[in-house]
Structure 1
Amino acid sequence: MDSVAPAIAVTGLRKSFGDHVVLDGIDLEVTAGSTFALLGPNGAGKTTAVRILSTLIRPDGGTARIAGHDLAAEPDAVRAAIGVTGQFSAVDDLLTGEENLLLMADLHHLGRAEGRRRVAGLLGRFDLDGASGRLASAYSGGMRRRLDLAMTLVGDPRVIFLDEPTTGLDPRSRRTMWQIIRELVAGGVTIFLTTQYLEEADELADRIAVLDHGVIVAAGTAKELKRSVPGGHVRLQFRDAADLDAAARLFGEGRRDDETGALQVPGDGGVRALRAVLDRLEEAGIDPEELSVHTPDLDDVFFALTGHTTSKETAR
């Protein structure tokens, strides 16, 4: 058993607003120095979970420990250990980029020299030093998101909550943010991410949980989740119709396409399933021209678990 305490440990977290149950006893565990993604359709409770874990609102029940501190008993210690970047930028448009960061340094009670040193480092790290003297109102969307995240890092947090950090960004800016997130994790920071882009979760998250109607309906790595839903198959391509006929008889459950000379054999995409297909082909003396493995993507997983599509309306 791993002796290292998780960065985030949640047990039985509950929250209701009036008669509406938003979180119905969820359990979560996030390994230190990893990226965890929480997915779910609109109204699933993701933002409520982030607001609770970042001490903004109180839960109705359950327990949580963040960076080793009890959420209920040590809220100040939790706040000192975390950073939060919400869907909507906390940047002050009336201040320059540098002034926004210096303001955060003052709020964290950093000394003047230490504050300026940290601000200068963050401006360089986020490629904002050339625009540090410009009003934030003149920044592009990507620059504002980088500044927002830099402001979060002034306090040197060990755990960062990112609530849809790349919403509205162009593809290039989004990938820049992804690289920054990877670098933070490589440096030992723990990232708790909510996102409306399943590609983002697939790219960044070490583990993913799907939240629907206030409960966790599935959790695991992206590969584990993809293998949990039907639709995976091995695609066999044959040179001639005789080989296709022989393979179709061998794999009675396969779906054949006479026009392309292909046969789809159901499977979970795992090594064991692939080996079983190859062994049966070899025993039957059938030699396909090509072979490829296809597994469901996170869109398939999301729809199978929640009944919702994964367009950009996904999850608040």
Structure 2
Amino acid sequence: MINGIINIYKEKGFTSHDVVAKLRGITKQKKIGHTGTLDPDATGVLPVCLGNATKLCDLLTDKDKEYKTVLQLGTTTDTQDITGQILEQKQVKVTKEQICEVIQSFVGDIMQIPPMYSALKVNGKKLYELAREGKVVERKPRPITIHDITIQDIILEQDCQEVHMTVSCSKGTYIRTLCHDIGEKLGCGGCMKSLIRTKVSQFTVENAITLEQAQKLQEAGSLEEHMVTVADMFPHYPKIIVNELGERFLANGNPLRLEHIQNIEEAKQSALGEDKQVRIYNKENQFHAIYEWGDPTLLKPVKMFLN
């Protein structure tokens, strides 16, 4: 079984589930999970976890993300993006200075109402399923953080009113809704014209590979060379190696004490450090788990990655 995280460039037209299904066919293994839904019309970074790395799916879903998007001004749609049904069109009578000011007002901790066309569930049913039935239900605003918005270009011509920008944000942020809300605040309406996810945690669009490339790499027997191991996801965590006695405790996911540790001096230093979580390796130097110091003499398991 292949274990690790692969940085897939999701192409337009694929759902996140499509990517997982394709990779299952490519790798001939079932234990695969993606790290957060990306709209079918959006492209870009989609980290996919294989084997024991699937335990990291929730961790990567929680990471901050970066997007490049184009906001089309003057058009409001039911899906909050350009693919939806047009609800209203208005003349764009704002200046570039006003656009910049309004966009920057969204930077920081804000509340955002999730769109009807989303995968969130209400009473066991996905919002987009209700939306397709013509139903609109109340959605509670959720706290999100917009870390930064960098405006690359503002085009205010007769046949083109667009804002090109890069958004760095927390998990749970809908860029479609951000575009819609900016348009509302400007008074002319707006919707998302395009979206590329450029970064999730350490995974960037420059290092992503397409499904076609993944297929060729697997056929050549070199796909694993393009994957990030679970241990490499925690490079800042101190490395702790257990001894022979400790291996028996580690194999069963039991807490570890100092007498179970081979590099005991490094362990003592990490126990006194600010970051209490560590990487645990067996005596053959194979990564097995993330543990956390309960006190300076006791390590408790957080996540086990035994093959």
The TM-score bracket by the shorter chain reads under 0.3
User: TM-score by structure 1 length?
Assistant: 0.27
User: TM-score by structure 2 length?
Assistant: 0.28
Higher strand share goes to which structure? Answer: 2
